[in-house]
Chains A and B, each alone.
Chain A
């Protein structure tokens, strides 16, 4: 975890050089004085994105107007709302009357202001992402209710806010910051002196914490893809090999409710498309029986693969990673034995390893919060739910590959490729694929949503998202291509493909597709070698017949010379 910045650290960070990538511009919509929240936000974003960030703001005291202007612009926006923006009487700078008699009017004003903001957000056409940060400061004590009780006005304000947030959470490309992550207590947040003097309501330490939360919500760390879990004293209480299938427990009656809690959580992760593998030192037969007990909460079909034997768990993990075809940095390992965690960490330093505290329900609760941050996702795509089945079918595909001639399998697997042009608003799966694919990735360049939208709307730009299915099952949307046509050439800037789709010649079929675009007879591929994109390099070397080091040109004639036979059916759509 990186440290929280002091103001001096933030300013120094902003003064540093930060690579050659263009400055990333974001908008901070606030009603209060924006500095030094702007400095903190720019510094945290700069740290997260490893590039220069410029934060623009608006007019003091005009939250709604600032948000409206941002909503119609093309920059990613953080909108930091406070109660005083909804009615100045809920702040401390305005001298409007307080007291019980003001309550109804304040509720009316707040309600209509929230309605206006919601309409602005709902009414924008294709704007880039907006992060709405709900009030982090308490409303001013308009009605003098003791702090240990909740007054009717505050409860009604909360109700208005909750209805507003639920309404705008349904608006595309609007996200709501999770305020419970702020670790500074309410009384430590307000700086009355700075608020009255300069219109800046936050204590400096709190401004840093708030900006850190905003930056994390705008640039969340890459979501982990897989969880490898132990079974004994982790998924259940007890040692299967000692007590037998019927005597491992996860219920309250056997004081094992925290294992049931873990099972339910892992099942929920599986339903969200997180890969769940098992690494246990056990005989496979009792494991199979225990996992099929009718009262189990984690369904056995959510688990793939299951490594149950007496070999080291590090070997199990290596096999699981290979089946999943993902790196250890995208995986968490949970086990109740510290030694196993240490061995795993030594074998895979990038893997996050967590102790399952079998005798400490409190610790399990804390563990779930950590796992939620690693795996949690606001919304899931169809591909998320397909993932485990798709991996199983990939495994069947690979097994079939080993047992028969490659050409026969490819010829008879009934593959269909569907290539759809990406329009506006774009399918969110496309940007997700671009930003999380490492291996078959033309250049490793990541795009912010605002940059992606700008790219799609540029002159001559075209982008496609590709789905694949064969007799082993559907893989879902597995590839994205984007480029610009200039005369007889398509310049490809983006080309990514999920590792689940390897070995099917999909990349060749896509090359074929691009070279049959009317008027096109060559591709210019904006290739950059990265630490991880070896599969892309190997593909380019195969189709061009020479070493790939940087941008390369692939004329139709050269591709025809090197192309393999293709058997899949291709269709296009919108």
Chain B
């Protein structure tokens, strides 16, 4: 069964990085997704906060540098499923 958090997260990633395949997004990092620069990292944080209705503290936001890191973080912190 598909993880609802991962599905929503994937959708958010796809919205910001539409030119990549789902698989590329699932394994995505700033190194593998060329558009994932510091500006888009900030936009991504805003998008994830909006999508999952949470606030990600600055100290956490700086460490979320892969799709997997976001997924793990949201599993712990988000109440949206």
Chain A positions near chain B (C-beta within 8 angstroms):
6-8, 11-12, 15, 33, 35-36, 39, 193-194, 196-198, 200, 204
Which residue of the partner chain, among A11, A33, A194, A197, contacts B16 with CB atoms under 8 Å? A11
- Within residues 18 to 56 of chain B, which ones have a CB less than 8 A from any CB in chain A? 18, 39-40, 42-43, 46-47, 49-51, 55
Residue of B nearest to A36 (CB): B43
CB within 8 Å for A7 and B50 given contacts A193-B55, A197-B61: yes
12 inter-chain pairs at a CB distance below 8 angstroms, sorted by A residue, are: A8-B12, A8-B15, A8-B47, A11-B16, A11-B47, A35-B39, A35-B42, A36-B43, A36-B46, A39-B43, A197-B42, A204-B49
**How far, in whole Å, are A36 and B48 apart by their CA atoms in the complex?**
13
Which residues of A lie under 8 Å from residue B57 when comparing CB positions? Answer: 193
Which residues of A lie under 8 Å from residue B12 when comparing CB positions? Answer: 8
Contact A35 B43 (CB under 8 A): yes
Contact B42 A33 (CB under 8 A): yes
Residue of B nearest to A39 (CB): B43
Q: What's the dominant secondary structure at chain B's contact region? A: helix
Query: B58 interface residue, CB < 8 Å from A?
Result: yes
Contact B46 A194 (CB under 8 A): yes
Residue of B nearest to A193 (CB): B58
**How far, in whole Å, are A12 and B46 apart by their CA atoms in the complex?**
15
Contact A204 B18 (CB under 8 A): no
Contact B47 A7 (CB under 8 A): yes
**How far, in whole Å, are A171 and B55 apart by their CA atoms in the complex?**
43
Contact B51 A8 (CB under 8 A): yes
Which residues of A lie under 8 Å from residue B49 when comparing CB positions? Answer: 204
Which residue of the partner chain, among A15, A39, A193, contacts B18 with CB atoms under 8 Å? A15
CB within 8 Å for A6 and B50 given contacts A15-B15, A33-B39: yes
Nearest 6 A-B pairs (CB), nearest first?
A198-B42, A11-B15, A197-B58, A36-B43, A15-B18, A35-B39
Min CB gap B59→A, angstroms: 10
Min CB gap A37→B, angstroms: 10
Contact B15 A200 (CB under 8 A): no
Chain B positions near chain A (C-beta within 8 angstroms):
12, 15-16, 18, 39-40, 42-43, 46-47, 49-51, 55, 57-58, 61
Q: What's the dominant secondary structure at chain A's contact region? A: helix
Which residues of A lie under 8 Å from residue B40 when comparing CB positions? Answer: 35
Which residues of A lie under 8 Å from residue B18 when comparing CB positions? Answer: 15
**How far, in whole Å, are A193 and B45 apart by their CA atoms in the complex?**
12
Q: Which of A7, A35, A194, A196 has the most CB of B within 10 A?
A: A7
Contact B46 A7 (CB under 8 A): yes
Residue of A nearest to B56 (CB): A193
Which residues of A lie under 8 Å from residue B61 when comparing CB positions? Answer: 197
Besides A7-B46, A35-B42, A197-B61, 17 more A-B contacts (Cβ < 8 Å) are A7-B43, A8-B12, A8-B47, A11-B15, A11-B16, A15-B15, A15-B18, A33-B39, A35-B40, A35-B43, A39-B43, A193-B55, A194-B46, A196-B58, A197-B42, A197-B58, A204-B46
**How far, in whole Å, are A197 and B42 apart by their CA atoms in the complex?**
9
**How far, in whole Å, are A11 and B18 apart by their CA atoms in the complex?**
10
Residue of B nearest to A6 (CB): B50
Residue of A nearest to B47 (CB): A7
Min CB gap B37→A, angstroms: 10
Which residues of B lie under 8 Å from residue A8 when comparing CB positions? Answer: 12, 15, 47, 50-51
CB within 8 Å for A200 and B50 given contacts A8-B15, A193-B55: no
**How far, in whole Å, are A8 and B61 apart by their CA atoms in the complex?**
19
Which residues of B lie under 8 Å from residue A204 when comparing CB positions? Answer: 46, 49-50
**How far, in whole Å, are A200 and B12 apart by their CA atoms in the complex?**
20
**How far, in whole Å, are A35 and B43 apart by their CA atoms in the complex?**
7
Which residues of B lie under 8 Å from residue A6 when comparing CB positions? Answer: 50
Min CB gap B23→A, angstroms: 19
Residue of A nearest to B40 (CB): A35
Which residues of B lie under 8 Å from residue A200 when comparing CB positions? Answer: 42
Residue of B nearest to A9 (CB): B15
Min CB gap B45→A, angstroms: 8
Residue of B nearest to A203 (CB): B46
Which residues of A lie under 8 Å from residue B43 when comparing CB positions? Answer: 7, 35-36, 39
**How far, in whole Å, are A8 and B53 apart by their CA atoms in the complex?**
13
Which residues of B lie under 8 Å from residue A15 when comparing CB positions? Answer: 15, 18
Residue of A nearest to B19 (CB): A15
**How far, in whole Å, are A253 and B57 apart by their CA atoms in the complex?**
61
Which residues of A lie under 8 Å from residue B47 when comparing CB positions? Answer: 7-8, 11
Which residues of A lie under 8 Å from residue B15 when comparing CB positions? Answer: 8, 11-12, 15
Residue of B nearest to A207 (CB): B46
**How far, in whole Å, are A15 and B57 apart by their CA atoms in the complex?**
29
Which residues of A lie under 8 Å from residue B46 when comparing CB positions? Answer: 7, 36, 194, 204
Min CB gap A201→B, angstroms: 12
Residue of A nearest to B51 (CB): A8
Residue of B nearest to A191 (CB): B46
**How far, in whole Å, are A6 and B18 apart by their CA atoms in the complex?**
17
Contact A194 B50 (CB under 8 A): no
